[in-house]
């Protein structure tokens, strides 16, 4: 995609609000999509040298703040500040998530609440705040929710995490109906197994089994997810909404 494609009719860069952009997949999305000319407002609970370097390198297109997505007041203030800096957002990428492994019967209740609050409630809260500002643009917009193959297939010891991701997919489908008349699309991207912090609990033997069960015979990469996000954010995806795009090499076939 040419960089000018990420601007509205030759004006300012299209503004995207991204949760969890300081590390992992969120950082990869930020790095990859910056190349397309977008401006980003992103937040995480903690900073990293990587996000600080991006802010320094692109001060006119990257804004970062330390915000806990479960803090309603803090999140609301962040969105207001983001709009002041870059204008109403063209898009939102809900990426913040945690995965706490454990059999449900023995999983501490506080961890259940944390996953629900961050993965699902956080997605709903940020989307709600952003949509209110997107209405004033009177232009097409995009909401992307980073789901997971676990929400579709399930996995032993990740029942609550799976529930949050399945809930995110359902949220995408229903919200797509609400905002479709405004030309705002809402889709989920469900990555397959990747070498990220969330897959660190899997040893090489387990990862090897996953690769062998995958038709494309490899794990997904952050680049694969960035490519999917790039397309769904583009003008060419304007007729795609309410969908869950599995980026998993065919393991869910």
Calculate helix-pair angle for 24-34, 49-57, nearest 10 degrees: 20
Q: How far is CA 40 from CA 71, 149, 161, 247, in A?
A: 20, 26, 27, 24
Looking at the DSSP bridge assignments, the partners of residue 244 are 188
Q: To the nearest 10°, the Cα dihedral for 63, 67, 72, 75?
A: 0
Catalytic residue, from 38, 90, 155, 161: name it. Answer: 161
- The half-sphere exposure of 174 on its side-chain side, counting CA atoms within 13 A, is 8
Question: Position of tokens 């004006």?
Answer: 11
Question: Can 90 be counted among the known catalytic residues?
Answer: no
Measured over the CA atoms of residue 246, residue 251, residue 252 and residue 253, the dihedral's sign is positive
**Torsions phi, psi of 203, nearest 5?**
-85, 175
Tokens of 95: 């990426």
Calculate helix-pair angle for 24-34, 222-233, nearest 10 degrees: 50
Catalytic annotation, residues: 161
């Amino acid at each position: 995609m040419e960089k000018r494609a990420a601007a509205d009719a030759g004006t300012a860069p299209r503004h995207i609000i991204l949760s969890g952009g300081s590390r992992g997949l969120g950082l990869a999305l930020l790095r990859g999509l910056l190349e397309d000319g977008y401006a980003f407002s992103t937040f995480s609970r903690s900073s990293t040298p990587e996000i600080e370097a991006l802010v320094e390198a692109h001060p006119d297109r990257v804004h970062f703040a330390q915000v806990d997505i479960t803090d309603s007041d803090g999140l609301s203030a962040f969105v207001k500040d983001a709009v002041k800096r870059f204008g109403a957002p063209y898009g939102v990428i809900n990426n913040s998530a945690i995965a706490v492994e454990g059999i449900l019967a023995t999983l501490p209740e506080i961890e259940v609440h944390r996953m629900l609050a961050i993965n699902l409630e956080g997605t709903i809260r940020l989307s709600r705040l952003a949509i209110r500002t997107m209405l004033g643009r009177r232009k097409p917009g995009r909401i992307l929710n980073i789901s997971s193959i676990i929400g579709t297939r399930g996995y032993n010891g990740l029942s609550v995490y799976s529930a949050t991701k399945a809930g995110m997919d359902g949220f995408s489908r229903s919200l797509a109906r609400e905002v479709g008349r405004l030309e705002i699309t809402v889709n989920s991207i469900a990555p397959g197994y990747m070498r990220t912090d969330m897959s660190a609990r899997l040893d090489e033997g387990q990862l090897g089994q996953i690769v062998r069960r995958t038709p494309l015979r490899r794990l997904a990469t952050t680049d694969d997810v960035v490519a999917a996000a790039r397309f769904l954010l583009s003008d060419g995806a304007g007729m795609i909404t309410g969908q869950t795009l599995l980026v998993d090499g065919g393991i869910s076939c």
